[in-house]
Amino acid sequence: MSKIILTGDRPTGKLHVGHYVGSLKRRVELQNSGEFDEIYIMIADAQALTDNADNPEKVRQNIIEVALDYLSCGLDPAKSTLFIQSQIPELTELSFYYMNLVTVSRLQRNPTVKSEIQMRGFQASIPVGFFTYPISQAADITAFKATTVPVGEDQLPMLEQCKEIVHKFNSVYGETLVDPAVLLPDNKACLRLPGIDGKAKMSKSLGNCIYLSDTPEDVKKKIMSMFTDPNHLRVQDPGQVEGNPVFIYLDAFCRDEHFERYCPDYSCLQEMKDHYSRGGLGDVKVKKFLNQVIQEELEPIRNRRKEFEKDIPEVYRILREGSKKAEAAAAKTLSEVKQAMKIDYFNDAALIAEQSKKYQ
Ligand code: TRP
């Protein structure tokens, strides 16, 4: 069986370092591993509209931002198909048929939907489209026969629900859809990077993000203002490492070689953490080190972005070509689905013969 990746992001803002360590970096590694037959990376604009119906301009503006973030991280259109969800009508058609296989109470139990409803204050006024987006996400994944879906931890409930739809479909209509495997980051700190304010999640609406496209000065300012252990008032005080965002970021970003380059007092992160816990290590020193580590990671991304920004029509061309290719793949799956569901009337010579016999 082919090894196929599908994943994507909603274009509701620029991508940040949480997206990067949670999924983007891994995608680029997977792309370059050469182990996959096909890689589809989707800008999920239709999904973004499920809770931004009154703000299509926001979605429209952010398509290019996300595409630039993808390309600058190293996703290569020669190896990965980058495309826009709304340009693939087959995805909507698949969603409509999958809706028959999912109950309202199952959707209500989806933990991500549940917490997003709370966060957005939707309660009973939840748009039907938003409520059913896990089904549309199952269409995204299955349309490309994805075997591997690299995502952040918050997407786990979507994958579970997708697998249920696959099983249900295959048991009712016969083996048709591919059961996808989720791929989470193996570094625990990367699963969910907190915001610079220490809040559980980096999110645009909380204003606590470091963006991939931030200038070096902005990144530095944000890191130097980061929330740390609030009880670590004087340098000599023992500090807390667990749950301290500065150390969580170091867990996510730093490698031993960074110490040689930027902070030779220590040989590895554990030594630095031990010193912080004992007392005698100030937050400013740790933050300066973190800044150097993150700047090193972001610099090539920033430079590639500048290059792509010079030719925006080319970026749209990449998306258009990718969407064309993606549509062909989705159309093939849709026709298999329709055949399995017995709604391929005009291709079914046996059906036509049988019906004519009945009326002879
Ligand atoms: N829900 C994802 C997000 O919020 C975007 C997405 C849409 C997606 N369809 C997908 C991710 C299919 C993985 C697979 O970023």
**Cα separation of 75 and 235, whole Å?**
42
Residue 42 in contact with residue 85, Cβ under 8 Å? yes
Task: Say yes or no: CB of residue 10 within 6 Å of ligand 1.
Answer: yes
Cα gap 237→165, rounded to integer Å: 54
CB contact at 8 A, 213 and 308: no
Q: How far is CA 235 from CA 1, 87, 122, 336, in A?
A: 57, 56, 45, 65
Classify burial at 260, counting beta carbons within 10 Å of its beta carbon; exposed 0-12, middle 13-18, buried 19 or more.
exposed
- 23 to 26, 29, 73, 157: CA distances (angstroms): 5, 10, 11, 16
Mean pLDDT to the nearest integer, 74-101: 98
Helices (H) and strands (E) in the chain, counts: 18, 5
- Axis-axis angle for helices 56-73, 312-340 (nearest 10): 100
CA–CA separation, 164 and 58 (whole Å) = 33
**To test ligand 1's pocket by mutation, which of 14, 151, 165, 205 has the most ligand atoms within 8 angstroms of CB?**
151
Structure confidence by residue, pLDDT tens digits, 195-251: 999 988 888 888 899 999 999 999 999 999 999 999 998 999 999 999 999 999 999
Verify whether ligand 1 is closer than 6 Å to residue 140 (CB atom).
Answer: yes
Cβ of 137 below 6 Å from ligand 1: yes
* DSSP-assigned letters across all residues of 197-226: TS-SS--GGGT---BTT--HHHHHHHHHT-
Does the C-beta of 9 come closer than 6 Å to ligand 1? yes
Ligand 1 close to Cβ of residue 91 (< 6 A): no
Mean of pLDDT values over 38-66: 97
* Nearest atom within ligand 1 for CA of residue 146: 14
Whole-prediction pTM = 0.94
- Tens-place pLDDT, residues 311-336: 999 999 999 999 999 999 999 999 99
d(CA 35, CA 141): 19
How many angstroms does the Cα of residue 33 sit away from the middle of ligand 1?
22
* Cβ of 151 below 6 Å from ligand 1: yes
User: What's the first-to-final CA gap in the chain, in angstroms?
Assistant: 45
Pocket of ligand 1 contains residue 59 by CB under 6 Å: no
Q: Whose CA is nearest to atom 9 of ligand 1?
A: 137
Whether the per-residue pLDDT at 189 is higher than 80: the answer is: no
Reported for 217-223, long-range contacts at CB under 8 A and 24+ positions apart, including other chains, are 219/291, 219/294, 219/295, 219/298, 220/291, 220/295, 222/196, 223/196, 223/287, 223/290, 223/291, 223/294
CB count in 10 Å sphere of residue 356: 9
Residue of minimum CA distance from atom 14 in ligand 1? 7
pLDDT in tens, 273-292: 999 999 999 999 999 999 99
Q: How confident is the model at residue 185 (pLDDT cuts 50, 70, 90)?
A: confident
Q: What SS3 class is residue 248?
A: helix
